Structure formats: structure tokens, C-alpha cells
A = this chain, B = another copy of it.
């Protein structure tokens, strides 16, 4: 049984294409209660870019600060209730930001049409009805959230996506100019999310010609961007990173992530570490599982003077380590992909705890 995946319905790519958003949005104006809900990264509040958002007076523009924490089920439920009670159901939701904003936009789109708390729907195919029209406009590239069928949410019990075919964006607007101002550390960590999930996608039993073709091209682009003669935050590399993010997302969709993401979810859930940074924290110590990938990753950190902390596990209690390992080992599909069908005979809770102790 092979996976049958929904793709993004419409994609526009190119420098300056953000100026086409207004026209794209207006095509949806007659849906539902005829207003738009813009979810925008707080980074842009008060900046020149804010004025370019094509919102009309009847539309809602909400800024969201993704820095203190990643999107939670409470964020989503509160946002949905607040908008629904005050204005009704939007014609479309437009997310403008990084991976967390993409996740918020996808999740809230679904929660306008599916009743109750979003905690009920964390998992695969638990959503009952298609969401409202949703448009993704990435301003940070790397997570692949703009193409994935998952809206990752941290809930009271678990960090797990609303995952179904209706999660996928109806439209994405890929304007490389929008990622030009990403701070250097975020540019690195978020790009490394693409790099890491392409390595995980490739090095596991679910790898196939489709996912590896996307993954290999994304890896080639990452090498240009982070290791090549012209590496760094240039216009040309912004274009490449935007495509790498999309292709990396396709690669993992048709294959699976592995040990890095399994550990990263533990780090985020228990310690609140941001996803992309948490991936990097874990990946550097996994050269026995991903030798070629970790070697190249280390070269990239050196080239860009990225200092990842080491020895951080010394400050963690046994309880914290156990809690993170418990979150991690429950992501069975990731361990299965990375280690093989017999992974349970090779990986125990103690193995995973030891992996966390490497950090």
C-alpha cells in the first residue's frame, strides 16, 4: 500500500510575486463571511513590509509572536473562538511567516470547520471536514511546512500534527525577497531543518526514488547555499533555499523523518526548544547513525561560525531525560524508518535516554 498524497493546489514562485497576493486573495472573497484572516509573524509588526499586506478594512490582521513558544492547541482554539465569535468564518486564512505561522494557518483553517478543541484531532486523519481556503506565504524557509500535510501543534499531552490531506495549503506564494531579512542564526537553523530531514528521509527503509529525487536536489541546493563558493545569504541563495525547503518537505512526505526528529520532539515538548534548533542540537551527536550527514553538517557549522552548545545534558535531571525519551520513543514510525522493522529489539527507553545524554 503506497501513500496517496495531496499536493499544494496552486504555486506561484518568483522574486516580487508577493505583490500578486491581493489578486489571489480576492478570488476567494465571496466565501463564508467575506473577510480575510491574516496571521502574520510579529517580526513584521510596524515594519515597512506590514504596509504591503493587501488587507482591506473588513479583514483581520493578527500578529503572532512565535519566539517564546511554538504553536499550541490553546493558541489555535482561542484564535478560532475569538474570530468566530466576533466576525464569523473567514473567506480565507493567509499565513505570512515561518514554519510556526504556516502550522498556525493550516491548523486554524481546519478548526473553523471542525468542532471542539484541536486536541481532539492531533494525529492522522482524525479531522472530519475540509478546512477553509488557506494560503501560505513563507518568510523563513527550511521547515517545509509550506508543503507538508501536517500542522504541528504542542498540546497538553503531546506535540503532534493535525495530519490529513485537507491540511495542505490551497495556495502558496513563494517570493524569495521575503526571506532576505531573516536573521543569520534563524537562516542557518531553519535551513538545516531541510538538510536534516533530507538526510533522515534518505537514510531509512521508506526511502524511494520519488522521495530521494526531491531530497537529493534539496541537499544539492543546501550544499550550494551553506558550503559552496557563493555560500551565504545572497539573493541567488534565497531563491535556492525557498525551493530547497519545498523539495525537502516533499521528500519527507513521501518517506519519513528519523532519529533526529524523534529526539527533537522530545526536546521541544519537555524543554520548549524551538524545532529547528533542537534538530541541530541532536543531529551533531548522531554520527554513528548518519555519518555522512553529520560530517557535512559539521562543515556547515564551521563555515558559518555556528556554535552549538555541548554538555547541556549535564544540567538535566533523570526525570527530564526520562520524560524526553518517553516523548521520543512513542514516535514509532520514525524509529521504524531509521532502524528497521525490528527496531524494538534494538532501541529501548534506555537507548533513547543514552542518546539524550550525549547532548
On A, residues with C-beta under 8 Å from B are: 1-14, 16-17, 20, 24, 165, 171, 174, 176, 208-210, 213-214, 216-217, 220-221, 236, 239-240, 242-244, 247, 254
Contact = CB atoms under 8 A, between A and B. Distances in A.
A213 B221 contact: yes
Nearest to A23: B4
Given A5-B12, A14-B208, A216-B217, 10 more contacts: A2-B17, A2-B20, A5-B11, A7-B7, A7-B11, A9-B9, A14-B210, A209-B236, A209-B239, A213-B247
Nearest to A212: B243
Closest 8 CB pairs of A and B: A2-B14, A209-B239, A217-B217, A4-B12, A13-B210, A2-B17, A213-B243, A7-B7
B242 A209 contact: yes
B7 A9 contact: yes
Nearest to A241: B209
29 contacts: A1-B20, A2-B14, A2-B17, A2-B20, A4-B12, A5-B10, A5-B12, A6-B9, A6-B10, A7-B7, A7-B11, A9-B9, A13-B209, A13-B210, A14-B210, A174-B210, A176-B209, A209-B236, A209-B239, A209-B240, A209-B243, A210-B239, A213-B217, A213-B240, A213-B243, A213-B244, A213-B247, A217-B217, A217-B220
Nearest to A247: B213
Contacts of A10: 4-7, 165
Contacts of A220: 216-217
A166 to B, nearest CB: 12
Contacts of A16: 2
A9 to B, nearest CB: 6
B24 A13 contact: no
Given A2-B20, A24-B4, A220-B216, A243 B210 contact: yes
A134 B191 CA distance: 37
A245 to B, nearest CB: 11
Contact of A13 (B2, B17, B176, B247): B2
A221 to B, nearest CB: 6
Contacts of A24: 4
A357 to B, nearest CB: 38
A66 to B, nearest CB: 26
A260 B165 CA distance: 39
Nearest to A174: B210
B208 A239 contact: yes
Contacts of A11: 4-5, 7
A316 B95 CA distance: 59
A250 to B, nearest CB: 10
A239 B238 CA distance: 31
Contacts of A12: 2-5
A230 to B, nearest CB: 13
Which of A10, A208, A210, A240 is the most central at the interface, judged by chain B CB atoms within 10 Å of its CB?
A: A210
A20 B4 contact: yes
A3 B10 CA distance: 10
A6 B169 CA distance: 12
A66 B5 CA distance: 30
Nearest to A7: B7
